């Protein structure tokens, strides 16, 4: 793969044009554009292992052909740390039957702050020989190692990495658990956080956040408002978010494990939820809502819920569903800010953001 800057510029402009065209019916302003490093931008990677010539090799498969492996020695779009660890790990399993026996998949998770974790997946139970070899390797590589076999997980070190991101002149620390969603492009994520921080601005009222994940946006946005009610359905992400709020001494956030659809029912007083026990929803003075939904976008009822708020700050990983949601809201809200974040260079995927304000 070549990393030609002119080819990248052409692809970037194609993405901007696509977003511009999708939002043109809504009189959106010209999008701010946040580019990506051309390589070494991806902080996580997952490889199957493929046996050939008596050894295991890192392998990936194309979307068109799931049977023919592409054997890999290095992965230039991945972080420098992943590329450093790949040959070191391969040498370790080549030298150790305890590490290599029935090993079929490897996952790397790294951070801009320099932390790293390797997950090793096996078609066998893990024994004391594996634990001894993996512990020695974790020390040598200065990483945490997770061993996974059917229904079992062994943790050597931590089952998370720690990221540090600067937003609005403050450094936030994020615990990112193994297996949970994290933004893959840390450099662009930091740009995205700063854009959202600036777009929300300093406010004296409250913020509702849907789909909060591990608190990626929650931490900096909480410093812009009086208090936050945040929701997330994944238990792993909720636990990480609670840890991150505590670690960063952010004390004005109440986090509830509800889906966006369930919170909509609660706010509409359709039915009560035990998970909201002790939380007075009527005590909030919501002026803004922040949403970062999955690729399908917001369902119609959640979209209608956001219409109640003067400001809707929306981060999207799918510009088509973003445009569909904006169309539903266009009669009451208009796009006042717009941005394109090149989270996934060399692919057609992108992240985008809009600030909608009440007409």
Question: Which tokens in the block code for residue 104?
Answer: 């079929």
User: What are 250-300's pLDDT values in tens digits?
Assistant: 999 999 999 888 988 888 888 889 999 999 999 999 999 999 999 999 999
User: What are 160-212's pLDDT values in tens digits?
Assistant: 999 999 999 999 999 999 988 889 999 999 999 999 999 999 999 999 999 99
Residue 267 sits at φ, ψ, to 5 deg, of -70, -30
Q: Which residue has the tokens 């990506």?
A: 36
User: What are 316-357's pLDDT values in tens digits?
Assistant: 999 999 999 999 999 999 999 999 999 999 999 999 999 999
14 catalytically annotated: no
If you compute the radius of gyration of the chain from its CA atoms, what whole number of angstroms results?
22
- Beta-bridged to residue 147, according to DSSP, are 120, 154
* Percent of the chain whose pLDDT exceeds 70: 100
Order of strands, sheet of 253-256, starting from the edge strand that comes earlier in the sequence: 32-34, 333-341, 351-358, 311-316, 286-291, 206-210, 228-231, 253-256
Region at 115 (left for phi over 0; alpha for psi -120 to 50; beta for the rest): beta
The answer on pLDDT for 2 being more than 90 is no
CA distance 235 to 214: 10
Annotated binding site: 183, 211, 216, 232, 292
The answer on pLDDT for 72 being more than 80 is yes
The answer on pLDDT for 220 being more than 80 is yes
Sign of CA dihedral 262, 265, 271, 273: positive
* Percent of the chain whose pLDDT exceeds 90: 87
Q: Which residue has the tokens 């600067």?
A: 166
Looking at every residue in the chain, the average pLDDT score rounds to 95
User: Residue 106, SS3?
Assistant: strand
CB atoms < 10 A from the CB of 58, how many? 21
The residues, ordered by sequence, that sit 6+ positions from 269 with a Cβ below 8 Å of its Cβ are none
How deeply is 186 buried, as exposed, middle or buried, from its count of CB atoms within 10 A (0-12, 13-18, 19+)?
A: buried
Question: Which tokens in the block code for residue 162?
Answer: 């720690």
Q: pLDDT category, 1, cuts 50, 70, 90?
A: low
CA dihedral 335, 338, 343, 345 (to 10 degrees): 120
Catalytic residue chosen out of the listed positions 166, 317, 320, 338 = 317
CB atoms < 10 A from the CB of 209, how many? 25
Query: Can you give the pLDDT at residue 268?
Result: 85
User: What are 90-132's pLDDT values in tens digits?
Assistant: 999 999 999 999 999 999 999 999 999 999 999 999 999 999 9
User: Residue 197, SS3?
Assistant: helix
CB atoms < 10 A from the CB of 301, how many? 13
Question: Which tokens in the block code for residue 229?
Answer: 């009610």
CA distance 181 to 191: 18
The residues, ordered by sequence, that sit 6+ positions from 358 with a Cβ below 8 Å of its Cβ are 309, 310, 311, 332, 333
212 catalytically annotated: no
Order of strands, sheet of 144-149, starting from the edge strand that comes earlier in the sequence: 70-72, 55-60, 44-52, 103-110, 116-122, 144-149, 152-156
Residue 319 sits at φ, ψ, to 5 deg, of -65, -25
């Amino acid at each position: 793969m070549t990393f030609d800057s002119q080819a990248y510029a052409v692809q970037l402009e194609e993405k901007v044009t696509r977003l511009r065209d999708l939002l043109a019916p809504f009189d959106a302003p010209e999008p701010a554009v946040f580019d990506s490093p051309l390589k070494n931008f991806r902080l996580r990677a997952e490889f199957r292992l493929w046996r050939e010539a008596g050894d295991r090799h890192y392998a990936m498969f194309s979307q068109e052909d799931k049977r023919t492996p592409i054997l890999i020695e290095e992965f230039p779009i991945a972080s420098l740390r992943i590329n450093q660890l790949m040959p070191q790990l391969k040498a370790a399993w080549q030298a150790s039957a305890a590490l290599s026996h029935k090993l079929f998949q490897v996952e790397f998770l790294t951070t801009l702050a320099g932390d790293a974790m390797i997950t090793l997946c096996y078609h066998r139970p893990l024994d004391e020989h594996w634990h001894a070899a993996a512990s020695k390797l974790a020390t040598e590589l200065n990483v945490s190692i997770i061993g996974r076999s059917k229904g079992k997980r062994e943790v050597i070190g931590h089952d998370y990495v720690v990221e540090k991101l600067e937003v609005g002149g403050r450094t936030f620390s994020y615990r990112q658990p193994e297996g949970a969603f994290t933004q893959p492009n840390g450099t662009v994520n930091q740009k995205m956080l700063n854009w959202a921080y600036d777009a929300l601005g300093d406010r004296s009222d409250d913020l509702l956040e849907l789909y909060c994940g591990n608190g990626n946006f929650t931490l900096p946005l909480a410093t812009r408002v009086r208090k936050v009610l945040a929701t997330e359905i994944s238990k792993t992400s909720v636990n990480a978010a609670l840890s991150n709020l505590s670690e960063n001494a952010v004390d004005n956030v109440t986090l509830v494990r509800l889906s966006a659809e369930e919170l909509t029912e609660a706010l509409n007083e359709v039915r009560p939820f035990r998970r909201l026990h002790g939380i007075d929803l009527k005590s909030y003075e919501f002026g803004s809502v922040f949403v970062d939904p999955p690729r399908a976008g917001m369902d119609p009822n959640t979209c209608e819920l956001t219409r109640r708020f003067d400001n809707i700050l929306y981060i999207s990983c799918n510009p088509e569903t973003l445009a569909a949601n904006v169309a539903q809201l266009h009669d009451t809200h208009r796009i006042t800010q717009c941005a394109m974040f090149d989270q996934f260079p060399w692919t057609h995927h992108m992240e985008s953001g809009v600030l909608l304000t009440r007409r």
